[in-house]
Amino acid sequence: MPGDTQEFAIVNYINYQATPKDSFSLRGEYMDDANGQRTGTATRYFGFGLNWTHYFKQNVFIRPEMVYYQSLDNPAFQQGTKNTQFVAAMDLIIRF
Task: Please name which of 64, 36, 61 lies closest in space to residue 49, comparing C-alpha atoms.
Answer: 64
Give all strands (DSSP E) within the chain, no chain letters: 7-19, 22-33, 43-57, 60-71, 84-94
Residue 1 predicted with pLDDT over 70: no
Strands 60-71 and 43-57, sheet pairing: antiparallel
Give 2-59 pLDDT, tens digit per residue: 677 788 999 999 999 999 999 999 999 999 998 888 888 999 999 999 999 999 999 9
In this prediction the pTM is 0.83
Residue 79 · residue 73 · CB < 8 Å: no
Residue 37 · residue 5 · CB < 8 Å: yes
CA dihedral 2, 6, 40, 91 (to 10 degrees): 120
